[in-house]
Amino acid sequence: MKGVKATYLLLAMLPLLLVSCSGKGKTTAPYPDPDRYAVRGIDISAHNGEIDFPIVREGGYEFVLIKATEGATFKDRRFIENLRRAREAGMKVGAYHFFRFDTPGYMQGLNFLNSVKSRQLDLPLVIDVEEWTNPNSQATTLVLERLGEMIDHLESHGYRVMLYTNKNGFARFIRDRLEGYPLWLCSLAIEPEHERWVMWQATHNGRIDGLSGPVDINAFRGTRQEWEIFSSGCFHQPPTQ
């Protein structure tokens, strides 16, 4: 599996405490403190419905990670519209794919890139790796093999890759295996402290202007200067094909 740039490694080597994020239930976690985390954003899917992105941006949320695909065939019906409207509102944008344990990684990579295509994105392509809603019958070695296939496929087209997971997913799939990749970590109960992460998903039940229902709220861990580097585009270099 191919490596990532030194900038990623520096960002990914920051410590934090992992806290479970199984499921999408309620949380009492505070929103990320804007005095400590200058860059905050949201992640969304079609489930969030109609979003007033200019109002979200005015509320101080600078980026949005948007669901694009899942498995080998599913495509989020609002992905293209959400991407266009978020960019028009001046937000940094990224795309994520929900990884299915029971589906070949190469096919999932094809599905993801078919939706992303050559669209302008600011953040690495995200692979969401979690046990929630996935079958427990798949062996860890097989899941890792399929995950590796997908990562290799995305990187072979020049894309940067970031991994999203929670406490269980980190312990089962990431630790001592894929820690060189930027980590987007879900930690609902308390602020992360001791493991390596770049982005923190702090709540599934945030309430902000511009959305009629709850939304996931996230924070970038680095400085403003590091954010400018991290959000400078989805490619390592121009794709060769």
Report which of 18, 9, 8, 7 is spatially closest to residue 191, judged by C-alpha positions: 18
Q: What is the DSSP letter of 21?
A: -
Count of H-run helices and E-run strands, the chain: 7, 9
Catalytic residue chosen out of the listed positions 33, 50, 81, 128: 128
Torsion angles phi and psi, residue 16, rounded to 5: -165, 165
Catalytic residue chosen out of the listed positions 43, 70, 155, 216: 43
The contacts of residue 13 (CB under 8 Å, 6+ apart) are 196
Catalytic residue chosen out of the listed positions 70, 76, 130, 155: 130
Report which of 73, 67, 68, 136 is spatially closest to residue 104, judged by C-alpha positions: 73
43 is catalytic: yes
130 is catalytic: yes
Q: How far is CA 223 from the centre of its chain?
A: 19
Alpha-helical (H) ranges within 74-218 are 79-88, 105-116, 140-156, 167-169
Catalytic residue numbers read 43, 128, 130
